Amino acid sequence: MDLLEIGRSLNEICTETGSYILSEQGGLKGEDVAAKGLHDYVTFVDRQSEKMLIGRLRQLLPDAGILAEEDSVEFKKMAYNWVIDPLDGTTNFIHGLPVFSVSVALMKGSEVVMGTVFEPVSGECFHATEGGPALLNGRVISVSATERLDDSLLATGFPYSDFSRQEAYLALLGRLMRGCRGIRRFGSAAVDLAWVACGRFDGFWEYGLKPWDVAAGSFILERAGGICSDFSGGKNYISGREIVCGNPSVYRELAGLLREYF
């Protein structure tokens, strides 16, 4: 299997899908939005872009399984599996905000071997392939060199439906407000992870996430020299619904606080 060639095709597919998504943003109406759950929304654009992705990915790797957010296809685990979020940041998309992305990862067994996060508004394509560097529009990127949490800029995601850990989350948030340069919440975990990978953020944490939210972005981040784990320091961050990551120095401090509060 030529992963480099597949990666080039994957980036083209994500770019084409992102162009479709962007073309539909201005015409979205209230009746085009449906609720999947508490504060969790879907549009026809999510569903159509997922169908576009699935069709193209099946042509690229016909024998691969597909795990997709909008359940356009029944997932049957295969040797290789695509993990896709056609529109990560749907709430931003609905409200006309510019931060949303197409996120696609390829897994071999339990390991990610390729990931792409494409931002339609900026045209930025983050990509990595097993054994290679992390790239932004073809240019090698790396995590920041920030050495202290106190000097870091962090990203997070606010709980919007799962409030079971809200008390611990707010306590940690208060601690970090006093212990870093700032905290941002942009509304797309895939973008947050990609921005840690290229050094815009120094660290990121969130809970309540799904595999399609983090599989591509966390792989790109690791290929850029960063570290990812679940809150306890283990490696169950793709399916474990929680993730903390950053450059090596900031990760160690941030992960230590996560273990303290959670």
Lowest mean pLDDT among 29-38, 108-117, 207-216, 251-260: 29-38
Instruction: Report the relative pairing of strands 139-140 and 134-136 from DSSP bridges.
Output: antiparallel
What ranges make up the beta strands (E) of 120-248? 124-129, 134-136, 139-140, 153-156, 182-184, 203-207, 227-229, 242-246
Burial of residue 64 (number of CB atoms within 10 Å: 0-12, 13-18, 19+): middle
Decide: pTM greater than 0.75.
yes
- pLDDT(253) > 90: yes
Residue ranges of alpha helices (H) inside 69-204 are: 90-94, 166-177, 189-197
**Span 181-196, average pLDDT:** 98
pLDDT digits (tens, 9 = 90+) for 27-51: 656 655 666 555 455 788 888 999 9
- pLDDT band per the 50, 70, 90 thresholds, residue 159: confident
Say how far apart CA 16 and CA 35 lie, in whole Å: 26
CATH numbers and ranges of domains, the chain: 3-140 (3.30.540.10), 149-261 (3.40.190.80)
